[in-house]
């Protein structure tokens, strides 16, 4: 009897000891000890699967010409064309632009490159380019007002360029089913008109994506009211010399669905002396207005597929040749 009682007491004590581990206030079990695992941060650093890139440095633009590829017929996004007045700042010259200034290589630029042939005899100013011995280039990219542009009969253009010691020459043939130009002065872009962009310091600010005092935006009106009306040339930029451009020559003519224009701008208007082999940034665009009695710019076509007025790096290159 005593033996059974002793066994029962011992059993009760064992039960009490085991249950005490889970009683309130009891010390919790420690975190289980796991086998060592790899340090994943260190593994990533020494892994060969994904190398850690070096410190990022500013990209160096390769100054060389590349093969031209087919470009879209319209720009990817509509650009605002309204002439802007900016406070120009001097462009800084980078290491790559200094190297480019030696002319040992040529810059990468979008759009088809243009070559202006030197004229031994100035062209006859009658609006027609028949005597021009130079390459014809298209200006068919719709860079503004795609929703307003109907088709090539509504607005499309081609052009030729040339030069001599006194003038930079441009001749343009424009397919336009309705001629409307009622604006003057700085508003001539709000009507049928031509725009010329010229970066006269191409290698000095090759990679500068904003306008500076060596970048020119000049507009030409083929005739106010009609093609026989008063011609006008207006310089929007540089803003410090905005206004009419003296010494220019303009002649224009019209037939059904087409107007033609010849333009001569003195090199003095750009502040440069021409010579064979010189290169400039360049763009040519044509604005259209089909609403008689209104001054507005409905659409624009250009030789620049991604034209941006305020970004000269979107302009192409023109070379003066013999």
The pTM (predicted TM-score) of the whole model is 0.70
What integer pLDDT is reported at residue 290 of this predicted model?
Answer: 97
Mean pLDDT of 138-155: 97
C-alpha 276/C-alpha 322 separation (Å) is: 6
pLDDT at 157 over 60: yes
pLDDT for 226 equals 97
pLDDT at 63 over 80: no
* CATH number for the domain formed by residue range(s) 113-321: 2.60.40.1190
**114-118/156-163 β-pairing:** parallel
Q: Choose the weakest-confidence range: 88-92, 149-153, 187-191.
A: 88-92
Quick: pLDDT tens for 120-129: 999 999 999 9
Cα gap 40→52, rounded to integer Å? 15
Q: Is the dihedral of CA 146, 148, 151, 152 positive or negative?
A: negative
Q: Measure the CA–CA gap between 52 and 304, rounded to whole angstroms.
A: 39
**Strand-pair category, 279-288 with 299-302:** antiparallel
Query: What is the mean pLDDT of the segment spanning 126-135?
Result: 95
User: Average pLDDT over the chain, rounded to whole?
Assistant: 77
Contact 143, 156 (CB under 8 A): no
pLDDT tens digits for 78-116?
Answer: 444 544 433 232 333 332 333 333 344 456 677 899 999
Identify the band that residue 59 occupies on the pLDDT scale cut at 50, 70 and 90. Answer: very low
Q: What is the mean pLDDT of residues 302-307?
A: 96
| Structure-block tokens of residue 71 | 């470009």
- When pLDDT is cut at 50, 70 and 90, the band that residue 256 belongs to is very high
Q: What is the pLDDT of residues 207-245, one digit of tens each?
A: 999 999 999 999 999 999 999 999 999 999 999 999 999
Q: How confident is the model at residue 20 (pLDDT cuts 50, 70, 90)?
A: very low
Taking residues 18-40, what's their average pLDDT?
Answer: 37
pLDDT surpassing 70 at residue 55: no
- In this predicted structure, what is the pLDDT of residue 274? 98
Select from 206, 241, 223 the least CA-distant residue to 317: 206
Q: What is the mean pLDDT of residues 278-285?
A: 98
Q: Residue 294: which of 222, 194, 191 has the closest Cα? A: 191
- If one compares 64 and 235, the residue with the highest pLDDT of the two is 235
Q: Where are the domains of the chain?
A: 113-321
Comparing 308 with 84, the larger pLDDT belongs to 308
Give the separation between CA 37 and CA 310, rounded to whole angstroms: 57
If pLDDT is split at 50, 70 and 90, which confidence band does 309 have? very high
């Amino acid at each position: 009897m005593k033996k059974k009682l002793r066994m029962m007491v011992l059993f009760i004590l064992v039960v009490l000891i085991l249950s005490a581990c889970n009683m309130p206030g009891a010390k919790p079990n420690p975190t289980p000890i796991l086998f060592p695992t790899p340090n994943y941060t260190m593994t990533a650093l020494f892994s060969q699967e994904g190398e850690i890139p070096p410190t990022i440095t500013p990209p160096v633009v390769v100054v060389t010409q590349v093969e031209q590829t087919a470009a879209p017929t319209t720009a990817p996004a509509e650009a605002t064309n309204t002439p802007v007045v900016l406070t120009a700042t001097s462009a800084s010259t980078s290491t790559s632009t200094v190297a480019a200034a030696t002319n040992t290589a040529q810059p990468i630029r979008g759009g088809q490159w243009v070559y202006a042939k030197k004229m031994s005899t100035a062209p006859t100013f009658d609006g027609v380019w028949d005597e021009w011995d130079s390459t014809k280039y298209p200006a068919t990219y719709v860079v503004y007002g795609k929703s307003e542009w109907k088709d090539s009969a509504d607005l499309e253009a081609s052009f030729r360029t040339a030069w001599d010691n006194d003038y930079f020459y441009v001749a343009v043939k424009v397919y336009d089913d309705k001629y409307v130009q009622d604006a003057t002065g700085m508003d001539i872009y709000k009507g049928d008109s031509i725009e010329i962009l010229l970066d006269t310091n191409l290698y000095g600010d090759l990679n500068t994506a904003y306008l500076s005092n060596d970048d020119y935006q000049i507009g030409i009106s083929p005739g106010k009211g009609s093609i026989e009306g008063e011609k006008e040339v207006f310089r929007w930029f540089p803003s410090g010399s905005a206004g009419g451009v003296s010494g220019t020559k303009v002649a224009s003519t019209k037939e059904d669905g087409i107007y033609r224009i010849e333009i001569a701008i003195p090199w003095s208007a750009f502040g440069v002396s021409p010579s064979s082999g010189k290169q400039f940034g360049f763009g040519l665009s044509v604005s259209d207005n089909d609403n008689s009695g209104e001054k507005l710019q409905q659409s624009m076509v250009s030789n620049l597929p991604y034209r941006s007025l305020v970004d000269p790096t979107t302009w192409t290159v023109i070379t003066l040749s013999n």
